[in-house]
Structure 1
């Protein structure tokens, strides 16, 4: 791939990369840097998972102690690859409405260069359920609650988070319940998304075009009508591979210029 600058998006920089530190990815940080170089990228951002107060059966995020290790290694790589790769150290913040003050405190703890906003977990009963996971128990629980009800809270949570927390970019906006293929967004959900985009615009945030969607459904997150709305509102777009393996860095970026050009109003 030979990344070029595009009026709608700069595909020379991958803004969303994870590593083995998060507990559900593979590969050391330096392997991702080397993969980005091999792909012809000039920049990348580690966006490791930051969650607070989540009651779940396994850890899918970095604990506080992991962030110290993350920054030590990240700062070493920034020095080692200076002039060859612009490396940012960021966090993908998972919004938990019951832990807003704690999330703010964690954001202040380290000098994150990019903060991506997401919401991976849904509180129901006495625990959280993974909105983006494949576990049958979670999917059956969401079907029992009602996907429309879950999506309504999901978008409400993102809207509150965008207004309350200092974030740089809204990540994989419509990835919630991505494993329920029969899910249909209602008019009320579309209205929520438009209000959310208005908040993103007012807060000076970017909208991530997450290319993991190409592998999962044939087109990126978010879906085309949402991207079209964002372009019309003048919200900056930024690409992210959501890589959980070094081989996934910069995946499908070469498809973005033409894809986005077709959506331009």
Structure 2
């Protein structure tokens, strides 16, 4: 029985819903959850320009203090019924390690939990968001030469995130390690990338990290599986890697069990 959801967004997400923190907590309680993590998209690193059309990938830096204040308040309000962990989903962006480390050093003491995820890849000197749309995914694959090349770069970047020195407040959980498969029903890779996945799991294990067992992919029409899929999750479990269920909910209704 799942009693923890370690990956939940909030009204501070510019591409999410306006549902209140309390509505997420009430939904969690109704599902029988005992612990949740609010893991809002952390502000992007200083100097990094969000490549998405609406530049709405992450919380604004100016909202960070309010986010921390409001999550602290809801943590206290629901302490009798729910263990609310204050967290962030931090982007690993290759080339911005120093800026990310600086952000973590600043905010880390205020956090109970956090996730390190890859959404952006550096392609031809520019950063691109791989999960924004099928059209952008196809354009990135074309620029790289193939879907296989996109998958390979994604997995290389995830591995780099695991090995990166981001300081003492580096997140302890690695997010949706197969996010590159979000549009797999449209753009299928021609290889399984088992070796790359194995290297990622080995690095997670060696660094004493957790794995975000992210079920958002099951709700995506062109994916149809969790990130990672069940067979990789079982491989991780066999290796002794802690799996933390994550709905990746961007609305209270999206907080559900699968």
**TM-score for the superposition, normalised by structure 1:** 0.85
Match of 2:118 in 1: 119
Aligned length: 242
Whether 1:221 and 2:232 are equivalent positions in the alignment is no
Mind listing any 5+ residue stretches in structure 1 that lack a counterpart? 5-10, 253-265
Q: CA deviation at 1:135?
A: 5.2
CA distance in 2, matches of 1:107, 1:226: 29
Alpha carbons 1:131, 1:177 under 8 Å: kept: no
**Higher mean C-alpha deviation, range 15-24 or range 205-214:** 205-214
Q: CA deviation at 1:76?
A: 0.6
Q: CA deviation at 1:128?
A: 2.4
Q: CA deviation at 1:170?
A: 1.5
CA distance in 1, matches of 2:218, 2:207: 28
Whether 1:75 and 2:72 are equivalent positions in the alignment is yes
Alpha carbons 2:131, 2:137 under 8 Å: kept: no
Q: Which runs of 4+ in 1 moved over 3 A?
A: none
Match of 2:139 in 1: 140
Q: Deviations over 1:26-85 (max 9, x none)?
A: 022222112112222111101111232244131210122211011100111111111211
Q: CA deviation at 1:144?
A: 4.0
Whether 1:193 and 2:197 are equivalent positions in the alignment is yes
Alpha carbons 2:50, 2:57 under 8 Å: kept: no
Match of 1:36 in 2: 28
Whether 1:109 and 2:106 are equivalent positions in the alignment is yes
User: Secondary structure of 1:21's partner?
Assistant: coil
Q: Deviations over 1:167-194 (max 9, x none)?
A: 211111111141142322625x321111
Quote the RMSD (CA, aligned, Å).
1.8
CA distance in 2, matches of 1:228, 1:206: 14
Whether 1:18 and 2:15 are equivalent positions in the alignment is no
Alpha carbons 1:18, 1:243 under 8 Å: kept: yes
Match of 2:63 in 1: 66
CA distance in 1, matches of 2:124, 2:207: 33
Select 2:177's aligned residue among 151, 173, 178. Answer: 173
CA distance in 2, matches of 1:169, 1:155: 16
CA distance in 2, matches of 1:194, 1:98: 24
Judged with a 3 Å threshold, the aligned counterparts in structure 2 of structure 1 residues 204 and 49 are, in CA distance, closer, same or farther, namely: same
Alpha carbons 2:14, 2:58 under 8 Å: kept: yes
Mind listing any 5+ residue stretches in structure 2 that lack a counterpart? none
Q: Which has the higher helix share?
A: 1
**TM-score for the superposition, normalised by structure 2:** 0.87
User: Secondary structure of 1:222's partner?
Assistant: coil
Whether 1:85 and 2:77 are equivalent positions in the alignment is no
Match of 1:258 in 2: none
Judged with a 3 Å threshold, the aligned counterparts in structure 2 of structure 1 residues 138 and 174 are, in CA distance, closer, same or farther, namely: closer
